């Protein structure tokens, strides 16, 4: 290491020596706090951990470790991007979901902890019921994006046969990469506008979806991290927000086996209307899934 190298940047504590992890975290998080990040220290730590390719825990055991000039520069570029409110997951290229690491790019929505509540409820309540009919549940994840829902279900229910669809071919490429990274070689992926690309001969035990559901008028009011960076295609649910729910409720019937379930993520206060849309199409035994804040985040309905 070249201890005398001068680190010339616009915000690092420039000293006539290498910077330590502690200094880089401090200076990075101070900058991010000023730029409007709600979790500046965590962001700085995650970005530095990604650059150094080490777990964050090592920062606590060895805060005085020095960082090479090249790595510090790379970290500065990451901090610059986050300071412009780019989501951390797009900068590092990955996001943890259900304890698994998913690759993400701006072609896909970043998987949210809220959606983990949905997957957990499916694993605890829906799959056991489906398993009374079949040992090999056929699962369809519509609007899959990064594949987070369908692939984590495959991870925890290894006997499942999983199909992922998305209208975006670019999103499906990300999902395919994630399937590969998780070691799954038998995932079916179909570029399709909802059910359009599926054969009516396909019958699923579970249809799950986190479709775009934000009303168009609300989109400009979302956090800048979201509006400026995440794909509008994955967010926009049309003028009312219910466009995709209406279509899914109307079109799902022929693709769902009797005794099968449909599980939809919903946005704030959308559950009653979504439940009505499903009931109108003959689905029943409707239950709601709360997220970690206690708000309803999912609706479950059955083809009885």
Q: Which is nearer to ligand GLN, 24 or 248 (CB)?
A: 248
Q: Is 17 in the site for ligand GLN (CB under 6 A)?
A: no
Beta carbons of 186 and 163 less than 8 angstroms apart: no
Beta carbons of 83 and 35 less than 8 angstroms apart: yes
Q: Which is nearer to ligand GLN, 222 or 285 (CB)?
A: 222
CA atoms within 13 A on the CB side of 153: 34
- Residue 274 beta carbon to ligand GLN: minimum distance, rounded to whole angstroms: 12
* From candidates 28, 111, 212, 260, binder to ligand GLN by CB under 6 A: 212
* From candidates 195, 213, 283, 302, binder to ligand GLN by CB under 6 A: 213
166 belongs to an annotated ligand binding site: yes
Token pair belonging to 29 = 């998080």
Rounded distance, CA 67 to CA 153, Å? 39
Q: What is the b/e burial string over 125-147, where b = at least 16 CB atoms within 10 angstroms of the residue's CB?
A: ebbebbeeeeeebbbbbbbbbbb
Q: Is 29 in the site for ligand GLN (CB under 6 A)?
A: no
Q: Is 226 in the site for ligand GLN (CB under 6 A)?
A: yes
- Residue 234 beta carbon to ligand GLN: minimum distance, rounded to whole angstroms: 6
* From candidates 187, 210, 278, 300, binder to ligand GLN by CB under 6 A: 210
| Bridge partners (DSSP) listed for residue 140 | 163, 207
Q: Which is nearer to ligand GLN, 37 or 209 (CB)?
A: 209
**Length of the chain, please?**
304
Binding marks (x or -) toward ligand GLN, 91..110, rule CB under 6 A? ------------------x-
60 belongs to an annotated ligand binding site: no
Binding marks (x or -) toward ligand GLN, 163..202, rule CB under 6 A? ----------------------------------------
In whole angstroms, how far apart are CA 144 and each of 62, 107, 220, 241? Answer: 40, 12, 24, 18
Radius of gyration of the chain (CA): 22
111 belongs to an annotated ligand binding site: no
212 belongs to an annotated ligand binding site: yes
Angle between helices 21-34 and 40-52 (to 10 degrees): 140
The DSSP bridge pattern shows strands 66-67 and 19-20 to be antiparallel
* From candidates 44, 174, 189, 214, binder to ligand GLN by CB under 6 A: 214
Segment interacting with ligand GLN, rule: CB under 6 A, options 48-56, 133-141, 164-172, 211-219: 211-219
Q: Which is nearer to ligand GLN, 7 or 275 (CB)?
A: 275
Segment interacting with ligand GLN, rule: CB under 6 A, options 77-85, 97-105, 116-124, 208-216: 208-216
Q: Which is nearer to ligand GLN, 177 or 243 (CB)?
A: 243
Closest residue by Cα to residue 263 from 128, 119, 134, 143: 119
* From candidates 51, 142, 153, 235, binder to ligand GLN by CB under 6 A: 235
Mind giving me the DSSP string for 45-74? Answer: HHHHHHHHTS-THHHHH-TT-EE-HHHHHH
Rounded distance, CA 211 to CA 194, Å? 9
Q: Which is nearer to ligand GLN, 42 or 226 (CB)?
A: 226
Rounded distance, CA 239 to CA 180, Å? 37
Q: Which is nearer to ligand GLN, 54 or 85 (CB)?
A: 85
Residues of the shown chain interacting with ligand GLN in the complex, contacts defined by CB under 6 A? 109, 112, 210-214, 226, 235
């Amino acid at each position: 290491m070249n201890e005398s190298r001068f680190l010339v940047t616009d915000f690092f504590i420039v000293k006539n020596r290498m910077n330590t992890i502690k200094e880089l975290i401090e200076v990075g998080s101070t900058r991010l706090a000023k730029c409007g990040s709600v979790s500046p220290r965590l962001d700085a730590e995650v970005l530095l951990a990604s650059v150094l390719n080490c777990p964050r825990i090592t920062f606590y055991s060895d805060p005085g470790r020095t960082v090479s000039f090249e790595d510090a520069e790379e970290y500065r570029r990451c901090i610059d991007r986050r300071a412009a409110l780019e989501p951390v997951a797009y900068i590092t290229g990955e996001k943890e979901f259900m304890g698994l690491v998913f690759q993400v790019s701006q072609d896909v929505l970043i998987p949210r902890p809220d959606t983990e509540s949905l997957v957990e409820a499916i694993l605890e309540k829906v799959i056991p019921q489906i398993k009374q009919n079949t040992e090999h549940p056929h699962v369809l994840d519509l609007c899959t994006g990064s594949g987070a829902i369908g692939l984590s279900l495959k991870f925890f229910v290894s006997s499942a046969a999983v199909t992922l669809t998305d209208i975006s071919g670019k999103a499906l490429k990300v999902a395919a990469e994630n399937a590969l990274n998780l070691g799954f070689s038998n995932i079916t992926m179909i570029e399709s506008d909802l059910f359009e690309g599926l054969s009516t001969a396909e019958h699923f035990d579970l249809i799950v979806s986190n479709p775009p559901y934000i009303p168009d008028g609300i989109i400009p009011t979302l956090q800048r991290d979201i509006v400026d960076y995440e794909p509008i295609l994955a967010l926009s649910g049309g003028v009312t927000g219910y466009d995709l729910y209406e279509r899914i409720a109307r079109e799902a019937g022929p693709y769902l086996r009797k005794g099968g379930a449909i599980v939809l993520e919903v946005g704030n206060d959308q559950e009653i209307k979504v439940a009505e849309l499903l009931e109108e199409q003959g689905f029943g035994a409707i239950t709601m899934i709360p997220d970690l804040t206690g708000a309803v985040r999912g609706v479950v309905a059955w083809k009885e």
